[in-house]
Amino acid sequence: MSAIHHPPGGTPAGTGGPPGHNRFLVKLTVISTLGGLLFGYDTGVISGALLYMGEDLDLTPLSEAVVVSSLLFPGAAFGALLGGRLADALGRRGALFVCAVLFLFGALITAVAPNVPIMVAGRVLLGFGVGAAAAVVPLYLAEMAPVSKRGRMVTINELMIVTGQFLAFTTNAVLDAVIDDPNVWRWMLGVATIPAIALFVGLFVLPDSPRWYAVRDRLDDTRRVLELSRPAAEAAEEYDVVAEHARRDLAEDKGRALQDLRAYPWMRRVLWIGCGLATVQQATGINTVNYYAPTILEDTGLGASASLVLTITVGVIAIIGTIIGIILLGFVNRRPLIITGFVGVAAGHAILALCFLLAESDLRSYLILAAMLLVVFFVQTFIGTLVWLLLSEIFPMTIRGFAMGIAVFVLWTVNAAISFAFPPLVAALGATLTFGLFALVNTGSIVFVTKFAPETRGRTLEELEDNFRTHDAGHFVHEAPAGVRGG
């Protein structure tokens, strides 16, 4: 099976290319990752809104947990399945149009919700958008990017996610300061309509993925899109590889993703690895910080406004960590980064557990915040970016959308379970044992990623697929090509 041949150093010929190619890739990345921005904003904004909507909607501890977790399950979990199927049926761009509509109407409904049932309905609708975007945006970027830029382009989406969370935390604090009204939470939720409209409008100027065109035998469109984003010689070489693999995939395709999975054990192996990566990413406990940081800090003795302001530091550290992670992708292989991340997260949770043993004081509150920031830094620098990137790279073309949907369904289901269980778990076990449990779980995650996570840096999606066809799950490629450069 042929592959794209890289020049010395592992960088495809012409990488960087004329300014026109770079401008197209920048435009593509900025517009499509508005889905990531909305993902981050809609998951982060609830942390501040909860402090004010409780009285307005008569929230109980149970209904509060339902409001928080409904975006995740059934919303984002089944939204991921929806997004995966739509990505295969309508194309990556078509699926993102659906996401934009879901984001817009979900934000409007939650902003005007008069009671818990309507709030939950709006959160579920937002969850469909979040889950679908989480499945589709990384796939779209991975399939559009030149191999040397794939890592950094895909992980820009993670930067937009944490930027969205930071904007949510900042917007919450600013609106809290300027609007003296218990209904301020409605403004917090309604701001999300703005990027939703921008995403919908921006998609009109983007094409679909060349690989999606190829498996639908639209090879002229495949060539056209590759030429938009690569120099002519590189586009021609990549076109030959994509077209050859598409012909093979179409000849082998059973017609439905489930039939393909039943027919080909190697596809099932890759899917299981993807689901495992999704699970360990959420087992970091990162979203207990994203969703409950103000509540945790307020419970340590800080006031509501102070807790909101300090939570902004969570967003700042997430952005800094993600930027560092994106930079590291250009110089360091994927596997060492992700293993380092889980070591750091396990240590961070252990420190956080110990902090809760201290006597209550302002110093204890700030130490708890510092420990949470340590966890956030290791997750966003080494794990958040890497898991989404690996999920966008490892699945075979004929089931890529469906498989990504399944993996992200697992991710959001685990996310929802942890988010829903966290408050009662802390109430039953105490914070020290709860965060100690997270430390133990993340130690187990180190074992999983060391054994099963493949090294995807420096290889085309087609080269990776060829490797996965011929190796068992414990022996996927673990090293990047010699002398590889770029992400």
Averages of pLDDT over each 10 residues, the chain, 487 residues: 42 49 92 94 85 86 84 89 93 96 96 95 95 94 92 91 87 88 91 95 95 92 93 91 89 79 92 96 83 69 69 83 91 94 95 87 82 91 92 92 94 84 84 91 96 92 91 79 71
Work out the number of other CB atoms within 10 angstroms of the CB of residue 207.
18
Q: How far apart are the first and last CA of the chain?
A: 24
Peptide bond into 74 cis (omega under 30): yes
Q: Where are the domains positioned within the chain? A: 19-475
At 181, phi and psi to the nearest 5? -155, 130
* Residue 332 per-residue DSSP state: S
**SS3 at position 290:** helix
User: Which pLDDT score, from 0 to 100, does residue 14 have?
Assistant: 38
* CA distances to 266, 306, 451 from 269, in Å: 5, 48, 13
The Cα-based distances of 425 to 71, 108, 292, 420, 436 in angstroms read 20, 33, 13, 9, 12
Find out whether 405 and 89 touch, Cβ atoms under 8 Å.
Answer: no
Quick one: which of 89, 172, 73 has its CA closest to 126? Answer: 73
pLDDT confidence of residue 487: 64
Q: Which two tokens stand for residue 270?
A: 């890759």
Indicate the residue type of 472. Answer: D
Amino acid 158: pLDDT: 86
Q: Which alpha helices (DSSP H) does 330-355 contain, by range?
A: 334-355
**Neighbouring residues of 362: CB distance < 8 A, sequence distance ≥ 6:** 301, 302
The residue written with tokens 């300061």 in the block is: 177
Q: What is the DSSP string of 363-424?
A: HHHHHHHHHHHHHHHHIIIIIIHHHHHHHHHHS-GGGHHHHHHHHHHHHHHHHHHHHHHHHH
What CATH number does the domain located at 19-475 have? 1.20.1250.20
Round the CA-based radius of gyration of the chain to a whole number and report it. 22
Contact, 344 vs 374, CB < 8 A? yes
- What CA–CA distance (Å, rounded) separates 395 from 388? 12
Q: At what angle are helices 362-378 and 334-355 packed, to 10 degrees?
A: 160
